[in-house]
């Protein structure tokens, strides 16, 4: 049968989509490097790495060959009481790369569940030690996922509205907007002084779904330092920011002298190939669960925990990520973003332009208040699709977060399309 799009409309319910209003989905038949290729052979530059997951380009032959070999060796096995080489090898390779002194890897299957594990780890860490700490702290505007624990530590918003009454209480502190960082730090310290905080969870340096909002590394450093001063755990949700997106391997690497206690990973972990989540923690946290009392066990898991295919994809992606050529590409993308940001900084259509590593965000003046439901969002989305570029604005915030394989010419093609948008806004 042909025409994937027509068949899709009869059987599929898409995420984050008002199905009554949305046009038919574009049927993709192939991925190739930076391109997604549809049924009519149109080639779209995937300038957002398919929701920030794709690091090295679509259908990368090295990852494909690695997975093919693993498929013929071991496709899956239970991970309670059993283990396997890909899971152990990936943990061995990840731990030295992570910020701080991470000592243990707990596998799950996506970013939301990596966060769920982190929250349960932090809460039970204090419970096992009979510390009586129950408060969770998060930043206003946060987005940590769509499961109930992850929603609870996310800002109350369009995404959570139907479920707000079911979410557990969290103390939110102001986002550290440039020039207002002290408000954030003072609010955090005031809460920490009550000595009941179990953990602070943050997206380090960049809040993604909130509109690619960015803050300074010095603030990240001070928030983590305050947590440690008052005996509160710091959880870094590096699901989006990990694996080079902010210029360093992990965003927390830009906060020297401190490190989180727990790190959450997913998205780029497998190069965007298959789902996998990781929650890493320090030895101190791990040891709080060691006991002759079975009630101190972390009772969490998934049927596909540490799936060997996913772990193999993670190993293959790390091979590519740590090669000198990838480091050069990351630096080149960041440099190109810096240059074009200077070119655009005086554009009248811009409210703000911000950049962190390979992430470039443009907050546009669309004549409305802005926000996720900005009236011009759909116009902008289709403006770029017509030019065979996938950019998916967060309301009035247009952002670029491309695969590392993008060439200077392809990047310039995206920049030129944005120039065209400025002309019609």
Domains of the chain, residue spans: 4-60+324-424, 74-321
Phi, psi at 123, each rounded to 5° = -65, -50
| Token digits of residue 114 | 């990596």
pLDDT tens digits, 129-144: 999 899 999 999 999 9
Q: Which CATH class is domain 4-60+324-424?
A: alpha beta
d(CA 371, CA 155): 14
> Confidence class of residue 223 from pLDDT cuts 50, 70 and 90?
very high
Q: Residue 182 has what pLDDT?
A: 98
How distant, in Å, are the alpha carbons of 349, 377, 383, 415 from that of 419? 11, 17, 12, 6
DSSP, collapsed to helix, strand or coil, labels residue 141 as coil
Q: What is the CA radius of gyration of the chain?
A: 22
pLDDT tens digits, 267-317: 999 999 999 999 999 999 999 999 999 999 999 999 999 999 999 999 999
Q: Beta partners for 81?
A: none
| Token digits of residue 368 | 């409305």
103, 286 contact by CB (below 8 A) = yes
> Confidence class of residue 1 from pLDDT cuts 50, 70 and 90?
very low
Phi, psi at 244, each rounded to 5° = 95, -5
Instruction: Give the orientation angle of helix 181-192 with respect to helix 217-229, to 10 degrees.
Output: 10
Q: Which residues are tagged catalytic? A: 16, 143, 237, 267
pLDDT tens digits, 363-392: 999 887 778 888 899 999 999 999 999 999
Q: DSSP state, 112? A: H
Q: Which CATH class is domain 74-321?
A: alpha beta
Q: How many CA atoms lie within 13 A of 78 on its CB side?
A: 3
d(CA 79, CA 305): 6
Tokens 């997975």 locate to 67
Instruction: Give me the chain's average pLDDT, please.
Output: 96
Same fold, 4-60+324-424 and 74-321: no
Q: What's the full length of the chain, in residues?
A: 425
């Amino acid at each position: 049968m042909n025409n994937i799009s027509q068949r899709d409309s009869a059987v599929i319910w898409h995420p984050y989509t008002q199905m009554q209003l949305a046009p038919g989905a574009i049927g993709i038949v192939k991925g190739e490097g930076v391109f997604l290729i549809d049924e009519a052979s149109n080639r779209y530059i995937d300038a957002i790495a398919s929701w920030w997951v794709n690091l090295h380009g679509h259908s990368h032959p090295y990852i494909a060959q690695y997975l093919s070999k693993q498929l013929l060796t071991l496709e899956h096995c239970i991970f309670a009481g059993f283990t396997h080489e890909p899971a152990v090898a990936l943990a061995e390779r990840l731990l030295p790369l992570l910020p701080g002194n991470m000592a243990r890897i707990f596998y799950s299957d996506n970013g939301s569940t990596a966060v769920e594990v982190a929250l349960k780890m932090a809460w039970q860490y204090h419970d096992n030690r009979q510390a009586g700490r129950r408060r969770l702290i998060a930043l206003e505007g946060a987005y940590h996922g769509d499961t109930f624990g992850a929603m609870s530590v996310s800002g109350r918003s369009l995404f959570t509205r139907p479920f707000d009454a079911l979410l557990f209480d969290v103390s939110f502190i102001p986002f550290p907007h440039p020039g207002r960082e002290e408000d954030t730090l003072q609010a955090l310290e005031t809460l920490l002084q009550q000595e009941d905080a179990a953990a602070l969870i943050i997206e380090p340096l960049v809040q993604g779904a909130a509109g690619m909002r960015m803050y300074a590394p010095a603030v990240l450093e001070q928030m983590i330092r305050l947590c440690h001063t008052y005996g509160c755990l710091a959880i870094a949700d590096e699901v989006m920011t990990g694996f080079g997106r902010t210029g360093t391997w992990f965003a927390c690497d830009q906060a020297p002298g401190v490190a989180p206690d727990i790190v959450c990973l997913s998205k780029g972990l497998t190069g965007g190939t298959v789902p996998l989540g990781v929650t890493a923690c320090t030895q101190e946290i791990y040891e709080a669960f060691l006991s002759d009392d079975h009630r101190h066990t972390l009772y969490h898991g998934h049927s596909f925990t540490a799936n060997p295919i996913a772990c193999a994809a993670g190993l293959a992606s790390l091979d590519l990520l740590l090669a000198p050529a990838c480091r050069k590409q990351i630096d080149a993308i960041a440099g190109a973003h810096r240059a074009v940001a200077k070119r655009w900084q005086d554009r009248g259509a811009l409210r703000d332009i911000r950049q962190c590593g390979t992430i470039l965000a443009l907050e546009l003046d669309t004549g409305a208040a802005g926000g996720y439901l900005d009236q011009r969002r759909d116009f902008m989305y289709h403006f770029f699709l017509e030019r065979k570029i996938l950019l998916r604005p967060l309301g009035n915030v247009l952002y670029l977060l491309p695969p590392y394989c993008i060439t200077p010419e392809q990047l310039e093609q995206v920049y030129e399309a944005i120039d065209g948008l400025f002309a019609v806004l």
